[in-house]
A = this chain, B = another copy of it.
Amino acid sequence: MTVIDREAHGERQALEVPVVDSPPHAQPVGWHHRHLLDVDTLSWADIELVMRTTDAMREVLARPIAKVPALRGRNVTILFYEASTRTRVSFEVAAKNLSADVVNIAAATSSVTKGESLVDTVRTVEALGAQMLVIRHAVSGAPYLAAEIFSGSVINGGDGWHAHPTQALLDLYTLRSRFPDGSLEGRKVVILGDVLHSRVARSNIWTLTAAGADLWLCGPATLLRGFEAWAGRGAAGGRRFQVTSSIDDALRDADVVMALRIQKERMASGLLPSLREYGARYGLTRARLAGARPDALVLHPGPMNEGVEIAADVAAGAQSLIEEQVRNGVAVRMALLYLLAGTVRP
């Protein structure tokens, strides 16, 4: 263990960074969660530990051979019930960088289509040797069910509209690395788009408010339903964010704008106008971005519908951190695999 000084939440603390080359169970690092199902059970100290461990992983990624033997011989099974490239590959690369053995199961093309229940699939996957299970599922809560029966660690790779904790942690890491003091305290952060159906938004609300951001949710009123009430309850619990359908109000002097992906399949629901109309009213264009601070940062969880929720020149522009989000995604997932693995005897 090495000891570094770091400003964290305004206080000066002596914090430790794990030496991530060694197997994780060899050293206590202060992490006690066996699963990562959402961010809402993480303390701020937990989040800080993820951030510091990610720093260590970025150092690994910068080496000529970006590989450590920390999880050698561990079986990381990636069980995805929804199509995905970036998240699936991000976990796969993260696990391989830690020297784990990776098993990919795309449930759409697997026995799962033969009608097997999630419980049976999880039991089977464990009996097949899975020690860490990354699961993505269209049904909110599915990873919680998996965690009840799986002996190893479960990581939620996205469940329904509910949560996408690794995305929220990589977004937080990406933003912190761009502010001089690593703090989001008082920074105006806007989440823009189809908040209603977004697991990315739900997990980000938690971490960004925990980080002290001045958080705004913005989109068509139909896609913000229920969040007014949540904002009210949140305020009672010390977490403050606000909700608006006015994109001008939202973007004014914003430090950060996170555009959400529009799921074309939502059109059928009648909740969204046409893509063209949505883009005209809420698309993040260069003109609109001009309303924010001059150096405002732009995020998007990907994959993008360019010309709909975000203009191509904004996505590729100097203020965009979109590729850095993807890059940090690998490092954050390495950190999480490492920390979680330390809680389970291999």
Contact = CB atoms under 8 A, between A and B. Distances in A.
A305 interface: yes
B110 A83 contact: yes
Contacts of A72: 65, 67
A324 interface: yes
Contacts of A327: 127-128
A267 interface: no
A206 to B, nearest CB: 25
Nearest to A109: B83
Interface stretch (A112-120, A177-185, A193-201, A225-233): A112-120
Contacts of A125: 89
A117 B305 CA distance: 9
A25 B81 CA distance: 41
Interface stretch (A1-9, A13-21, A98-106, A133-141): A98-106
A343 to B, nearest CB: 15
A158 to B, nearest CB: 12
Nearest to A128: B89
A337 interface: no
Given A124-B86, A127-B324, A103 B93 contact: yes
A103 B111 contact: no
A273 interface: no
A326 interface: yes
A83 B127 contact: no
A329 B125 CA distance: 12
A112 B85 contact: yes
Interface string A200-231: 00000000000000000000000000000000
Contact of A73 (B66, B124, B264, B326): B66
Contacts of A346: 64-65
Nearest to A114: B303
Interface of A: 61, 64-67, 72-73, 75, 77, 83-86, 89-90, 92-93, 96-97, 101, 103, 105-106, 108-117, 120-121, 123-129, 264, 302-306, 315, 323-327, 329-330, 345-346
28 contacts: A61-B129, A64-B345, A65-B72, A66-B75, A67-B73, A77-B89, A85-B121, A86-B111, A89-B125, A93-B128, A93-B129, A97-B129, A106-B109, A108-B109, A112-B303, A115-B305, A116-B304, A120-B303, A120-B304, A120-B315, A123-B326, A127-B324, A127-B325, A127-B326, A127-B327, A127-B330, A128-B326, A128-B327
